[in-house]
Amino acid sequence: MLVTIPEVLNKEDISVIQDLMGTANFREGAATAGSEAKRVKNNHEMFISEVETQRLNNLVMGKLVRNPTYIATAFAARIAAPIYAKYSAGMYYGNHVDDPVMGPPNQRYRSDISITIFLNEPEAYEGGELVISTAFGEQKIKLNAGDAVVYPSSSTHRVAEVTSGERIVAVTWLQSTVRDPAKREILYNLSKAREALIQNAPDSKELELLSNSYCNLVRMWTDI
């Protein structure tokens, strides 16, 4: 399931992030890639002080984990601190599948879901689309600053070459309490229908039945 989330971060958030990243140091992104991805990864990743990193993560992740669409989509058990990446002209990330298990030895987690948060406007660069292979063909994604896309870590995906300008993003991964992506999609669709009924028919029998079924499916499929 591929879900876009508009306005995870607002314009003020983006301004703060861009100011911090504008003064940060960057290193070769291949340093954090797995053995297979290292061959196709050509970008730069931010390296700043622990204090500044914590400030940035508090802002970005604080907004993300409180977003209702993220909550309905992810069912997160563990989520990683994001990587802040920059793609200048000529940079790209070739086809790859994210590593199935990530994190340091004492904080390992299974990567079920990947999330990209776009940190500058699409007009700031040419190319640089996130291209995700799905059952319906390749989906090319290039969103407004502050928007996010959620997609299965098991999907083959790439970042098209940036031909001019600069693309900046935050990327993170999470382990879901609902491991099966098909079940997560069912729950997401049910949650959207449930919210619509809460707004339009809060006293209806249909809402009661749907809500009961949704809650019991979450109970049945969640592994905590």
The answer on 95 and 109 residing in a single domain is yes
The answer on 172 and 190 residing in a single domain is no
The answer on 95 and 121 residing in a single domain is yes
| Distance separating alpha carbons of residues 138 and 118, to the nearest angstrom | 19
The answer on 41 and 64 residing in a single domain is yes
The answer on 152 and 125 residing in a single domain is yes
| Distance separating alpha carbons of residues 99 and 152, to the nearest angstrom | 12
Report the 3 state secondary structure along 28-44.
Answer: EHHHHCCCCHHHCEECE
Q: Residue 60: its pLDDT value, please?
A: 97
| Distance separating alpha carbons of residues 160 and 93, to the nearest angstrom | 7
Q: Residue 50: its pLDDT value, please?
A: 87
Give the total number of structural domains in the chain.
Answer: 2
Q: Residue 38: its pLDDT value, please?
A: 72
Domain that holds residue 203: 181-221
Task: Give CA angle at 22 (17, 26), nearest 5°.
Answer: 105
The answer on 131 and 25 residing in a single domain is yes
The answer on 155 and 79 residing in a single domain is yes
The answer on 88 and 143 residing in a single domain is yes
Q: Residue 37: its pLDDT value, please?
A: 66
pTM attached to this predicted model: 0.94
Q: Residue 49: its pLDDT value, please?
A: 87
The answer on 194 and 122 residing in a single domain is no
Q: Residue 147: its pLDDT value, please?
A: 98
The answer on 169 and 67 residing in a single domain is yes
Report the 3 state secondary structure along 83-128.
Answer: EEEEEECCCEEEEECCCCEECCHHHCEECCEEEEEECCCHHHEEEC
pLDDT tens-digit profile, the chain (224 residues): 999 999 999 999 999 999 999 888 999 887 776 666 678 999 999 988 889 999 999 999 999 999 999 999 999 999 999 999 999 999 999 999 999 999 988 899 999 999 999 999 999 999 999 999 998 899 999 999 999 999 999 999 999 999 999 999 999 999 999 999 999 999 999 999 999 999 999 999 999 999 999 999 999 999 98
Sequential DSSP letters for the chain: --EEETTSS-HHHHHHHHHHHHT-EEEEGGGGS-TTGGGTEE-EEEE--HHHHHHHHHHHHHHHHT-HHHHHHH-EEEEPPPEEEEEETT-EEEEE---SEES-GGG-EE--EEEEEE-S-GGGEEE--EEEEETTEEEEE---TT-EEEEETTS-EEEPPEEEEEEEEEEEEEEESS--HHHHHHHHHHHHHHHHHHHH-TT-HHHHHHHHHHHHHHHHH---
The answer on 207 and 108 residing in a single domain is no
